[in-house]
Amino acid sequence: MAEDYEPRIVAFLCKWCSSAGSDLAGVSRMEYPPNVVPIQVMCSGSISPLYIFSAFNRGADGVLVSGCHPGDCHYIKGNYYARRRLNLVKKLLEYVGLETQRFQMSWVSAAEGTKYTQIIKDFVKELKPLGPQTKLRRNP
Amino acid sequence: MAKIEDLKDEARKLLREGKVKYIIGYGAGSNGWPAAPLFIKKPEDVDKLVWDPTCVHNLVRFLVDEKRRKARQRQPDKRPVGIMVKGCDSRAVVVLLQEKFIDRNDVYILGVSCEKTGVVDDTKLAKKLPGKKAKKIEVDAQNRFVVTTEEGKTEVAAAEILAERCLECKANFPVIYDLLSGEKTKRSLDEPFGSLQKIESLSAADRWSFWKEQLDRCIRCYACRSACPMCYCDECVVDSINLAVTAETTADEKAQRIRWIQRSAESSENLVYHLVRAIHLAGRCIDCGECERACPLDIPLRFLNKKLEKEAKELFGYEVGFDAALPALVSCFRDEDPQDFIR
């Protein structure tokens, strides 16, 4: 593996909390690795497991799903559904042998810019030793 | 195995009185053996019904087809359809009722109990009696299988040729029925998910090489999807039919169509297809084993679905197919659901 390998992370951020949190990190000029491709979704509960499999399929090295803290969901209970569903996805990905670190989930509120930068920093640090994700990746 | 004489009488009565449209059951196969699905429209054909350890099929799939057929008819026959179900199949009916895919009045359930045994596994039987062709399988009083071959009878212990899923069956009797043949005896289970241990104990790298080897063989014939009573989506993610290509469809529209998964049988695409299928069946798969039986390449698909069944039980305390009034696994939540994996 080359020294300068930079993992690519696809981050699904909910519009009401995590997106605003990443925005806060941006406007506050906080520094974090540029390895993230953020995708805004309306709610973490709207994320189909297929999005995650598809992101890995198109070459993502890691996938992050981030939503509002439990109880803070704009749609009252979307993140509770996400928590249940994505727990199963995580277990399934582990079961077929994908590294556990590649799929992560977090709660980031609109005020937690620092937490968001920390999560991305940690994520990148964990992904670097793993090298590129080739298991689910479609051959070009 | 339960005796089905009473059930036959009742079935005859139902057909004579016209209370059911037809009855889906098991009959002798074209060779006389093993059993095959049988559709009965006339009361005099009821005698063709059989119930033996070769009734492996899950007939609930035909209820899905029946619903489609009915939707196409202008004046559909509103009478219910009679269906013969084992324990596992009855749980499939419960899931379809739970999802409001079928109505309870649309189906007349003739339950048959496996009574401490179950159905046989073809491959196990072939291994047990190499080179011999079984002609008939019966169950004796001690719940042992008596296999009749051309050279005579052989007694085989049930555990040796029972299908893997039957060994891990939580309730080998129908949980929902209008008429029941046989006793509702629950078998004690030491390890309801014992078959998974072999894979779970492997390291992540070994698990990956196991699944890669298995799923690389997949030819994407979609037999698993066709045999599954739960795979009833009108549009499947692997073949998007929503885009109607007409003379007005622009090249751009065709190009912009979302192709989630490619059709080619490459290992990455196969894996995504089977992962999607496993997730779709989370909390719905009742472990009837039809996908695995239908698979022409003998991919152990059951292990994917069984794993999610196990996780549903351990993480959320959810058991599939026992109560049609409960919400489905992923359409409900609890405040105390585990979230230790979330930062």
Note the pLDDT tens digit of each residue in A87-138. Answer: 999 999 999 999 999 999 999 999 999 999 999 999 999 999 999 999 999 8
Residue-number span of the structural domain to which A114 is assigned: 9-130
pLDDT at B227 over 80: yes
Residue B190 pLDDT class (50, 70, 90 cuts): confident
Instruction: Return the pLDDT at B1.
Output: 72
* Cβ neighbours around B176 below 10 Å, total: 19
A45 lies in some domain: yes
Task: Measure in Å the smallest separation between the Cα of A13 and chain B Cα atoms.
Answer: 14
Average pLDDT over residues B55-65: 94
Residue B236 pLDDT class (50, 70, 90 cuts): confident
pLDDT at A1 over 60: no
pLDDT tens for residues B148-158?
Answer: 888 888 888 88
A107 lies in some domain: yes
Instruction: Return the pLDDT at A75.
Output: 95
Tell me whether residues A94 and B237 touch, CB distance under 8 A.
no
Q: Establish if B279 touches chain A: CB-CB under 8 angstroms.
A: yes
Judging contacts by C-beta atoms under 8 Å, the chain A residues touching residue B278 are: 92
A2 lies in some domain: no
Give the chain A residue whose CA is nearest to the CA of B341.
Answer: A105
- The number of folded domains in chain A is 1
Tell me whether residues A135 and B335 touch, CB distance under 8 A.
no
Judging contacts by C-beta atoms under 8 Å, the chain B residues touching residue A114 are: none
Q: Establish if B278 touches chain A: CB-CB under 8 angstroms.
A: yes
Instruction: Return the pLDDT at B4.
Output: 87
Task: Measure in Å the smallest separation between the Cα of B94 and chain A Cα atoms.
Answer: 21
Judging contacts by C-beta atoms under 8 Å, the chain B residues touching residue A139 are: 266, 268
Question: How does the average pLDDT of chain A come out, rounded?
Answer: 94
A138 lies in some domain: no
Instruction: Return the pLDDT at B240.
Output: 67
Output the pTM of the full model: 0.92
CATH code of the domain covering residue A110? 3.40.50
Give the chain A residue whose CA is nearest to the CA of B282.
Answer: A88
Instruction: Return the pLDDT at B17.
Output: 93
Higher-pLDDT residue of B79, B142: B79
ipTM of the complex as predicted: 0.94
Q: Establish if B262 touches chain A: CB-CB under 8 angstroms.
A: yes
Judging contacts by C-beta atoms under 8 Å, the chain A residues touching residue B268 are: 57, 135-139
Residue A13 pLDDT class (50, 70, 90 cuts): very high
Residue B11 pLDDT class (50, 70, 90 cuts): very high
B188 contacts: CB under 8 Å, gap ≥ 6: none
